Structure 1
Amino acid sequence: MVHFSDFDTRNYPTVDVRTGYAQWVATYEQTVEDAMDLAVLDRLTTPAWPEVGRAADLGCGTGRTGAWLRARATDGLVLDGVDLTPEMLAAARERGAHDSLTEGDVAATGLAEGGYDLVVSSLIDEHLADLGPYYREAWRLARPGGRCVLVGLHPYFIMAAGMPTHFTGEGGADIAITTHVHLVSDHLTAGLAAGWTLVEMAEAVVDDAWIALKPKWEKYRSHPVSAAYVWEKRA
């Protein structure tokens, strides 16, 4: 098992997920770049987004992913969001992309079994100590033929940059949120064990667009920065 502490070059004070996102919520939308996740979702060819009738957005946060999906879906989309942090859910509720929002764990959502065409998650896997419960819950939620799409930081980038998920606190100090490293093989092992079939994968690298956003990342040019996995429930 790979531990983030073996790569950490920042040594920021660290808080748990709920505490961190509760504090970050006020500036989250201004600090998370769409290039990290939404641009990678745009590259996927397998999911037919307009055909999704019911979707579960696990770790929905402020509703960024939900709004992205809503913009690509038909008017009949039913979108249920789940997140651990009440403050993030309040922001998602104000955004209005979801039909329902539930405070809960992405590994034990309480949502109805087998009712979803799509289970989608963005920028959450680095906060999960174990990927298995997530993939098993996504499998429980998906209907036969349904898909699970997960996009997040590439493990290589977390390791190369030695940088945890972090934000700037009210006092101006950087604060880290508990971060875990999951290799690509960890995702494949956990997803396959849960019953999923991998049907597409995309990896994004630090390119000109990224350097324009973050000039200091020039040293990471052409390094993998994000990864997306598309799974299908074929059983």
Structure 2
Amino acid sequence: MKNQQGYNSWAATYDTVINKTRDLEARALRDVLADIPISRALELGCGTGKNTSWLAEKVASLTSVDFSEEMLNKAKEKVRAAQVNFKQADLTKPWNFVEAPVDLITFSLVLEHIEDLDNIFTQASSVLKPGGALYICELHPFKQYKGSKARFETDEGTFVLDCFTHHISDYITPALKYGLSCDHLAEWFDEDDRNGIPRLVSFLFRK
């Protein structure tokens, strides 16, 4: 799988290179979830653990999932909290890693790599507790329309990962279909310059 191989290669430098998208998403997650009480959570697409430590401080149980073994290895090096359980899994397959209903599910810069969002939302809805929250933050479709994609530099040149353009309605429509309401939608700009194109869009859905 191209993206799995790509993220395995990217893991070595992911935390150290300049990456405005990575850093802005970390800020978005902390702002959106700051005041939300959580007991049990799923972090889907945890990568190298840029949000894992922060989430772990808020919960009694956190399952952090990624399909890249090398990304997970980096996360495990950084986060050793007893309440965190790391799992390697493909999110497009059945979520057999879920052991009990959860209060929160997070997707951070993950869904651009998944074509079928309907499948994601039906699985998310099925494991959320009533009143539970689903946080999503992704590259804004305006950036995608201009050709922006996840990419990184290698000795051989630029490695561009496979990505799918998702419009705002591609998130809202399946959420409503599976019984979720949209409590929050925000656009995130570089250096808070609202005269430019937003870099990210975030949603907070409730069951």
Shift of 1:52: 0.7
Amino acid at match of 2:148: M
Listed one character per residue, the Cα deviations across residues 154-199 of structure 1 (whole Å, up to 9, x for unaligned) are: 0111212x1221001133x101000111000111112112221111
Instruction: Give the counterpart of 1:168 among 153, 163, 166.
Output: 153
Listed one character per residue, the Cα deviations across residues 38-62 of structure 1 (whole Å, up to 9, x for unaligned) are: 11223327x634x211110011111
Listed one character per residue, the Cα deviations across residues 6-27 of structure 1 (whole Å, up to 9, x for unaligned) are: xxxxxxxxx7210110110001
Alignment-derived partner of residue 225 in structure 1: 199
Query: Which has the larger Rg?
Result: 1
Matched, 1:205 2:179: no
**How far apart in 1 are the matches of 2:186 and 2:100?**
26
Instruction: Give the counterpart of 1:127 among 104, 113, 124.
Output: 113
Bigger shift: residues 15-24 or 31-40:
31-40
For the residue of structure 2 that corresponds to 1:182, the secondary structure is: coil
Matched, 1:69 2:52: no
Alignment-derived partner of residue 95 in structure 1: 78
**How far apart in 1 are the matches of 2:56 and 2:98?**
21
For the residue of structure 2 that corresponds to 1:158, the secondary structure is: helix
For the residue of structure 2 that corresponds to 1:64, the secondary structure is: coil
Alignment-derived partner of residue 35 in structure 2: 48
Alignment-derived partner of residue 175 in structure 2: 191
TM-score by length of 1: 0.78
Superposition map of 1:14-33 within 5 A: 16-31=2-17, 32-33=19-20
Shift of 1:87: 1.0
Identity of aligned residues (%): 28
Structure with the bigger percentage of helix = 1
Unaligned 5+ segments in structure 2 are none
The alignment's C-alpha RMSD in Å is: 2.2
Amino acid at match of 2:171: H
TM-score by length of 2: 0.88
Shift of 1:88: 1.0
Distance 1:113 1:79, change over 3 A: closer
Alignment-derived partner of residue 8 in structure 1: none
**How far apart in 2 are the matches of 1:191 and 1:113?**
22
**How far apart in 1 are the matches of 2:138 and 2:144?**
11
Asked if the contact 1:164/1:179 (under 8 Å) is kept, the reply is yes
**How far apart in 1 are the matches of 2:89 and 2:98?**
14
Asked if the contact 2:56/2:84 (under 8 Å) is kept, the reply is no
**How far apart in 2 are the matches of 1:208 and 1:199?**
22
Q: Comparing both chains, which one has the higher relative contact order based on Cα–Cα distances under 8 Å and sequence gaps of 6 or more?
A: 1
Alignment-derived partner of residue 82 in structure 1: 65
**How far apart in 2 are the matches of 1:208 and 1:195?**
33
**How far apart in 2 are the matches of 1:24 and 1:148?**
27
**How far apart in 2 are the matches of 1:128 and 1:194?**
18
**How far apart in 2 are the matches of 1:16 and 1:194?**
31
**How far apart in 1 are the matches of 2:15 and 2:48?**
8
For the residue of structure 1 that corresponds to 2:51, the secondary structure is: helix
Aligned length in residues: 202
Amino acid at match of 2:124: A
**How far apart in 1 are the matches of 2:187 and 2:15?**
23
